[in-house]
Amino acid sequence: MVKVSAQKQINRENLLNQGVILLMHQGYHGTGLKEILAAVKIPKGSFYNYFASKEEFCSEVIQHYLNPFIEQLDGHLRDPGLDALSALQTYFAELVDELEKAEFKGGCLLGNLMGEIGDTSDTCRQSLHSAVLRYRDLLQQGVAKAQQEGSVRNDIPAEVLADILTNAWQGALLRMKIEKSSVPLKQFCQQLLGDFFKA
């Protein structure tokens, strides 16, 4: 019984990993369940043993996609060798490097899905909203810490600055995709974290 349960968990994880890849490159409407199941070698018809619907699957893929970014950012913010502003700058610089290596393909799954199904699927909209708030809240912790350390301006609340970061990053990612350039991302890093945010 334990063995079956463990295999089911592995299959579920594989489905979510494949979901991130396919939804990133093909979108929600361009990705079929048969394609996802075939990619992870799970028999057709068994999808519903793992997820109640394609919408629920997408909802879970959204959170699964975000988790590594949360861990990466949290790791920098907990690094005793970095002040909070440097931690934020280091985190976003790493993202820019990764996007340059990927030749600007994909962008951000959250932003992609917001544009594609954000107002047509309530289940996915709620998951997207939850994911954005998780991300914003962690950025807010970093900004608040930087304000306490005196490196970030404190005339604007940390929550507002975190919202500005979240919104501006998504916009920069969209411009990156159409321009095939990291310039919008580097402007984000320099103009916001390097100039506007500084105390």
Domain-by-domain residue ranges, the chain? 55-196
Cα angle 38-43-45, degrees, rounded to a multiple of 5 = 105
Going by C-alpha positions, the residue among 191, 195, 185, 176 that lies closest to residue 92 is 185
152 phi and psi angles, rounded to 5 deg: -120, 140
Superfamily (CATH H level) for 55-196: Tetracycline Repressor, domain 2 (1.10.357.10)
pLDDT digits (tens, 9 = 90+) for 79-114: 999 999 999 999 999 999 999 998 888 789 999 999
- Position 1 confidence tier, pLDDT thresholds 50, 70, 90: very low
* Residue in 19, 11, 10 with CA at minimum distance from that of residue 124: 19
d(CA 58, CA 177): 22
110-167 residue pLDDT tens: 999 998 988 888 999 999 999 999 999 999 999 999 999 999 999 999 999 999 999 9
The pair of structure tokens assigned to 46 is 């068994």
